[in-house]
Structure 1
Amino acid sequence: MTDQEINGDEFCRRAEKKLTGWGLFGNKYEDAADLYEKAVNSYKIAKAWEKAGSTYEKLASCHKKLESRHEEASAYADAANCYKKINPREAIRCLNESLEIFMGIGRLNLAAKHGKDIAELYEAEEDLNEAIRFYERSAELYETEGATSTANQMAQKVAQIAAQLEQYPKAIEEFEKVAKLSINNNLLKYSVKGILLNAGLCQICKGDIVGITNALERYQELDPTFSGTREYKFLADLASAIDEEDVEKFTEVVKEYDSMTRLDAWKTSLLLRAKNALKAKEVEEDDLT
């Protein structure tokens, strides 16, 4: 145990003594909070993250007794930052406490930020359904606060993860909603073609040619410039390859687009699924002949 950790333990012992004792002067919760602050500083220097996190939670309890709700929520957020280094699930629990308190006192922007933080932790833990739930909550809160750009980012995360889970209708709905919200915004309208491409790739994964064709018509109505973009041509050529059940053509279309605009891991994953589905269909038909 380092000297700093020993110091932290001593500050905590003194804080607990304050809380259990009787004082004629001052406020025992304020005095204990000061000592817990000193304790967490020592623990952080010592990198004793478990102790730092639990002490921040004790600090939060003092602030609750003092009816300092903002400080209580902030202490839980600080606890989460310590737990993140060693125990993501404990970090999530503390962030959730902070989120609920900030919601209760109307600090919706801070609640939205914590919703995003929780979602990212769940995503890192590969608990994707919970990640979706908190990205959705964050998006709603940012939208309420008028932070349209950040709300759209959260909604796109929902869509991307839904697509990973093969929940294509949900992914398409989210992408299309963001595109509609962005098209008349001077700052966001230039992102629309990329968003429609993502929605279109989810349509491609569904493998429904009529659905893909109808979607491309809708996207052209939404953004009349879309039909002249490489993104539109890419989706149309993929749809044609699927309609013709031509795996080789599908591969060439992807290769050509990727040579001009590098495909990210998410798009590559979806295209591989669509290609494998096309291959499986080709094999199935060969077996029938």
Structure 2
Amino acid sequence: MSALSQTQRKKGDALTSEADATLKKSTWFASSTERKHEDAAELYVKAANAYKVGGWHDEAADAYVRASELFKTLKNLGEASKALSDAGACYKKGGTSIIKAIECWSDAVTLLCDAGRLNMAAKLSKEIAEALENNAGDDEGKNNDSIAAAIESYQKAADLFEMEQAKSQASGCLQKIAELSSGALNPPELLKAADLYESLGRTCLESNLLKYNAKTHFLNGILCHLANGDCIGASQAYTRFDNLDYTFGESREGKFASQLIEATENFDAPGFATACFEYDRISKLDPWKTSMLVKVKRGISDQTGIDGGEGEEGDVDLT
């Protein structure tokens, strides 16, 4: 440990002891008790800051949590939520308990909503969702639980952003829900994702700045239908999107979607592979699209009896 780290640890310990001693003082009047709690809370925050500077993140988090409890007693929701938010950040940085971090952040979101600070609550809900998504482990059951919880937090963030008229941030959260629902959940919720992508595309068409993004969302929606083994649903979606956006059919995304639908309907594995190869040459396929296309290709292979490839999804050659 560095000299600075040790010095900050001693400083944090001293401030924590002082805060503990302050709380033990006897008081006779309500005003004196309130003052005692205010002084102790301030000392815990100072202790937390000292620990944080020294790199003692778990100790800092614990001190922030104790401060938050006092702020709650004082009905100071703003300071309580800030202390909990800081505690979560320290637990996360300490690396010992992401669960504790998420618990602190969740409590902070509740307090922020109670205080009417919805934009801050939305941002913190999104941070919770990202932490849950990143925390998805190798164990399939735990992974699925983490992904489901992340989807729930992204939805809460989207709802809160929507209340604050922050439509761009809300759309970003909904896009994450669509990606996770279709690509990470087991079993995937492909129809839910398809509906979300359609809604996102329709929203984009309402804005001159975002209308060109609609094509990507519409393509993604069609991929979800195809991955779900529903060529009819994909074809119907294509028709709706072409009616909504007259440029869709002639766009790269629209032509690609049409080729995929035709190849899937005809169980044309070579045609499907060619369409993917030609699209990828110009617009690089991202991991999510690749995972959806692998599902579609395997569906064609099951029907034709042609081997669609072995191994993980990302290892299957689409071309």
TM-score by length of 2: 0.86
Aligned to 1:184: 206
**1:250 and 1:275 in contact (8 A); partners too:** yes
Indicate the SS of the match to 1:197: helix
Match of 1:146 among 156, 161, 165: 165
Distance in 1, Cα, partners of 2:42 & 2:68: 12
Deviation at 1:228, TM superposition (A): 1.2
Distance in 2, Cα, partners of 1:258 & 1:240: 18
Deviation at 1:152, TM superposition (A): 0.8
Letter aligned with residue 215 of structure 1: A
Aligned to 1:205: 227
Match of 2:269 among 244, 247, 258: 247
**Which deviates more from structure 2 when the two are superposed, residues 149-158 or residues 200-209?**
200-209
**1:57 and 1:79 in contact (8 A); partners too:** yes
Distance in 2, Cα, partners of 1:34 & 1:242: 65
Distance in 1, Cα, partners of 2:86 & 2:175: 28
Indicate the SS of the match to 2:208: coil
Match of 2:119 among 104, 109, 132: 109
Deviation at 1:23, TM superposition (A): 5.7
Aligned to 1:36: 44
**Which deviates more from structure 2 when the two are superposed, residues 193-202 or residues 21-30?**
21-30
Letter aligned with residue 154 of structure 1: C
The ranges of structure 1 where at least 4 consecutive aligned residues each deviate by more than 3 angstroms after the TM superposition are 23-26
Aligned to 1:20: 24
Deviation at 1:284, TM superposition (A): 8.0
Q: How many residues get paired?
A: 285
Indicate the SS of the match to 1:27: helix
| Percent of aligned pairs with the same amino acid | 35
Deviation at 1:227, TM superposition (A): 0.9
Gaps (5+ residues) in structure 2?
137-145, 308-319
Distance in 2, Cα, partners of 1:242 & 1:33: 64
Deviation at 1:22, TM superposition (A): 2.6
Match of 2:84 among 48, 73, 76: 76
Match of 2:9 among 5, 9, 19: 5
Deviation at 1:247, TM superposition (A): 1.3
**1:63 and 1:69 in contact (8 A); partners too:** yes
**1:242 and 1:250 in contact (8 A); partners too:** yes
Match of 1:167 among 179, 182, 189: 189
**2:88 and 2:100 in contact (8 A); partners too:** yes
The Cα RMSD (Å) is 1.7
Distance in 2, Cα, partners of 1:222 & 1:91: 44
User: Aligned ranges for residues 210-289 of structure 1 at < 5 Å?
Assistant: 210-283=232-305
